[in-house]
């Protein structure tokens, strides 16, 4: 079994593969990309369930293309639906490879190592953290409402809208206040508006070549396919 | 030697409602100081000034006899670590290990040192099994331990805890007490705010009493429990042991047991 490349190589090669993979319009090329994607999953022995997990959020969109394009564009619509779905499937394959045994934190770490603008990485991190805060506040407020006899099952009664309006307002205020306190927490640990990356892991030339091989395959297909 | 000195400090979110009013007191280096007072007295606001998070509107604050200016305030996090009352306010990252590493990374330590510190303090707090967990999904006690580990990992000279024992179970309190003990052994200055007067009796060397944004004085715990006027003014109550001993103690007030162990020993002797 071939070992998974180091996170930095994974991120760089995945980004290149995705960019090159969404460019072709030719169905044969898209099919060949899908073969490469399948090989990628097979060679690194990535479980099928990891791929199925990635597929879930895009399955609805793929279904939509098969319903919408044939109706909107007639016979040509099927080709367009196949194009969009094929590209999406390839992206899902590469993303499965990218995030297999790599969480969001190492991903952000790699982005920092690759010297992406700090603001970009922080936006992703704070958005994720804020979602946690927001979810926590919603949970607390719903519990508080339920403890006093308000049940979500009755949400669609008109008289409940006033309560829900109030809930939404105070939810935003509470989340905002919580975020302010979290910001204070960051300042207390010396945060100065820039998230410092920890020292980077050494990546050998062999590892980079390993990644380049996969990108090269997609790149070759792109040029060979383009000349046909 | 005083590590912190407040000289006629005032602070408020709005001008008509000051939180700290012309407050003056000192905190001694290497000592265990408790700041006590009723809810809304201004205890947490004082702690935020100690870490440089808030800037006083009037008066001066001195850190090791150096007046706190903008530059020093920005560097204060390297000397003073603070644990907030609510751990949810201090959990920043998406994994426990990343959260503990946050402070040391801001201090620009090498990756090896950061890793070593994370390992050291997760072992000390007994939270090795939580390393890859999302902090927001932990229990209150676990979150508190993660925030404490995060601040301990910064290895500052001063360690501040806002209500460290609040909402912890007996096991959590025991662990927190052992951490405070460890910090004392390392010669660190530890400042806590608390409502738990028995904890004050057991632990504190200096007790600063705050009432409505003003300092009513700095006392030894034993002296404070004899000052009923101060206790009443600050809405404080005697700890159960002191209350019991006050009722039955006939000897010299200065020798009256105020700690559980002292009281146990005395009672064992007379029974």
The DSSP secondary structure of B175-228, one letter per residue, reads: HHHHHHHHHHHTT-EEEEEES-HHHHHHH-SEEEEEETTEEEEEE-HHHHHH-H
Q: DSSP string covering A108-153, please?
A: HHHHHHTT--HHHHHHHHHHHHHHHHHHHHHHHHHHHHHHTT--GG
Secondary structure letter of residue A103 according to DSSP: -
Q: What is the length of chain B?
A: 271
d(CA A82, CA A66): 8
Q: Give the residue with greater pLDDT, B136 vs B83.
A: B83
Model confidence at A185, pLDDT cuts 50, 70, 90, reads confident
**pLDDT on residue A228:** 47
Q: Which chain B residues contact residue A177 at CB under 8 A?
A: none
Nearest to A185 among B78, B84, B110 (CB): B84
Q: Cα-atom radius of gyration of chain A, to the nearest Å?
A: 23
Scanning the structure block, which residue is given the tokens 């995945």?
A14
Q: What is the pLDDT of residues A100-146, one digit of tens each?
A: 988 887 888 888 888 888 778 878 877 887 787 788 778 777 766 66
**pLDDT on residue A73:** 84
Q: Which chain B residues contact residue A133 at CB under 8 A?
A: 88, 136
Lowest mean pLDDT among A10-24, A55-69, A123-137, B90-104: A123-137
Lowest mean pLDDT among A105-114, A165-174, A175-184: A165-174
For residue A199, pLDDT beyond 70: no
**Any B CB within 8 A of A53 CB:** no
Q: Which chain B residues contact residue A187 at CB under 8 A?
A: 53, 77
Q: Which chain A residues contact residue B103 at CB under 8 A?
A: 189-190
**Any B CB within 8 A of A131 CB:** no
Half-sphere exposure for B82 (CA within 13 Å, toward CB): 28
Distance of CA B167 to the CA centre of its chain: 15
Give the residue from chain A lying closest to B103, CA to CA: A189
Residue B46 Rama label (left phi>0; alpha psi -120 to 50; beta): alpha
**pLDDT on residue A156:** 62
Chain A contact probe: residue of B44, B88, B158, B160 with most A CBs at under 10 A: B88
**Any B CB within 8 A of A104 CB:** yes
Q: DSSP string covering B231-250, please?
A: HHHTT----HHHHHHHHH--
d(CA B104, CA B154): 5
Structure tokens at A22: 């969404």
**pLDDT on residue A197:** 60
Structure tokens at A97: 């490879």
Count CB pairs under 8 A between chains A and B.
Answer: 79
For residue B210, pLDDT beyond 90: yes
Nearest to A189 among B89, B106, B108 (CB): B106
Alpha helices (H) in A74-117, listed in sequence order: 76-99, 104-113
**pLDDT on residue B60:** 95
**Any B CB within 8 A of A178 CB:** yes
**Any B CB within 8 A of A128 CB:** yes
**pLDDT on residue B207:** 96
Report the interhelical angle of A76-99 vs A7-21 (nearest 10°): 180
**Any A CB within 8 A of B142 CB:** no
Beta partners for residue B159, in sequence order:
B81, B190
Q: What is the pLDDT of residues B222-243, one digit of tens each?
A: 899 989 999 999 999 999 999 9
Neighbours of B56 (CB within 10 A): 18
> Which of B57-66, B123-132, B178-187 holds the top average pLDDT?
B57-66
Give the residue from chain B lying closest to A107, CA to CA: B94
Average pLDDT of the segment spanning A49-74:
88
Q: Which chain A residues contact residue B82 at CB under 8 A?
A: 188
Report the interhelical angle of A118-147 vs A161-188 (nearest 10°): 130
Please check whether residue B232 is in contact with residue B238, taking contact to mean a CB–CB distance below 8 angstroms: no
**Any A CB within 8 A of B73 CB:** no
d(CA B173, CA B164): 8
- Reported pTM: 0.72
Complete edge-to-edge strand list for the sheet that includes strand B2-14? B17-28, B2-14, B58-63, B66-67
Closest C-alpha among A86, A114, A148 to residue A13: A114
Q: What is the pLDDT of residues B44-57, one digit of tens each?
A: 999 999 998 899 99
**pLDDT on residue A1:** 61
Q: What is the pLDDT of residues A16-31, one digit of tens each?
A: 999 999 988 889 999 9
**Any A CB within 8 A of B77 CB:** yes
**pLDDT on residue A196:** 64
**Average pLDDT of the residues of chain A:** 83
Q: What is the ipTM of this complex?
A: 0.71
Q: Which chain A residues contact residue B102 at CB under 8 A?
A: 186, 189, 191
Give the residue from chain B lying closest to A200, CA to CA: B111
Model confidence at B68, pLDDT cuts 50, 70, 90, reads very high
Distance of CA B143 to the CA centre of its chain: 17
Average pLDDT of the segment spanning A30-50:
92
Please check whether residue B176 is in contact with residue B164, taking contact to mean a CB–CB distance below 8 angstroms: yes
Please check whether residue A100 is in contact with residue A44, taking contact to mean a CB–CB distance below 8 angstroms: yes
Neighbours of B169 (CB within 10 A): 11
């Amino acid at each position: 079994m071939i070992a998974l490349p180091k996170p930095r190589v994974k991120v760089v090669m995945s980004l290149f593969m995705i960019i090159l993979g969404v460019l072709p319009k030719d169905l044969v090329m898209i099919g060949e990309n899908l073969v490469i994607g399948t090989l990628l999953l097979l060679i690194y022995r990535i479980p099928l369930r990891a791929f199925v997990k990635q597929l879930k959020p895009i399955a609805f969109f793929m279904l939509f293309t098969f319903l919408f394009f044939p109706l909107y564009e007639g016979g040509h619509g099927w080709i367009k639906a196949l194009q969009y779905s094929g590209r999406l499937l390839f992206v899902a394959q590469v993303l499965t490879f990218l995030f297999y045994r790599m969480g969001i934190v190492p991903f952000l770490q790699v982005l920092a190592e690759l010297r992406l603008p700090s603001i970009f990485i922080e936006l992703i991190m704070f958005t994720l953290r804020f979602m946690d805060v927001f979810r926590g506040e919603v949970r607390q407020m719903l519990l508080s409402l339920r403890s006093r006899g308000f049940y979500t099952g009755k949400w669609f009664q008109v008289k409940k809208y006033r309560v829900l309006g109030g809930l939404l307002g105070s939810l935003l205020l509470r989340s905002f206040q919580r975020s302010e306190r979290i910001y204070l927490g960051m300042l207390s640990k010396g945060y100065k508006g820039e998230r410092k990356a920890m020292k980077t892991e050494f990546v050998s030339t062999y590892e980079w070549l390993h990644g380049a091989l996969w990108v090269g395959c997609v790149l070759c297909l792109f040029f060979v396919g383009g000349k046909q | 030697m005083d590590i912190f000195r407040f000289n006629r400090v005032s602070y408020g979110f709005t001008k008509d409602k000051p939180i700290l009013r012309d407050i003056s007191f000192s905190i001694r280096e290497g000592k265990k100081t408790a700041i006590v007072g009723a809810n809304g007295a201004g205890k947490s606001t004082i702690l935020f000034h100690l870490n440089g998070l808030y800037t006083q509107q009037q008066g001066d604050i001195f850190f090791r006899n150096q007046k706190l200016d903008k530059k020093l305030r920005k560097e204060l996090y390297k000397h003073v670590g603070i644990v907030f009352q609510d751990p949810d306010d201090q959990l920043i990252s998406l994994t426990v290990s990343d959260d503990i590493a946050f402070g040391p990374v801001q201090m620009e330590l090498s990756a090896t040192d950061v890793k070593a510190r994370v390992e050291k303090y997760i072992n000390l707090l007994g939270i090795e099994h939580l390393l890859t967990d999302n902090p927001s999904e932990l229990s209150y006690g676990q979150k508190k331990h993660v925030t404490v580990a995060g601040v301990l990992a910064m290895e500052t000279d001063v360690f501040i805890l806002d209500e460290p024992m609040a909402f912890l179970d007996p096991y959590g309190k025991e662990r927190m007490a052992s951490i405070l003990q460890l910090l004392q052994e390392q010669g660190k200055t530890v400042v806590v705010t608390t409502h738990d007067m028995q904890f004050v009796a057991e632990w504190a060397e200096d007790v600063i009493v705050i009432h409505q944004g003003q300092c009513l004085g700095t006392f030894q715990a034993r002296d404070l429990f004899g000052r009923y006027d101060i206790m009443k003014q600050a809405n404080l109550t005697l700890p159960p042991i002191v209350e019991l001993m006050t009722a039955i103690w006939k000897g010299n007030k200065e020798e009256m047991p105020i700690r559980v162990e002292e009281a146990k020993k005395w009672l064992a002797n007379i029974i």
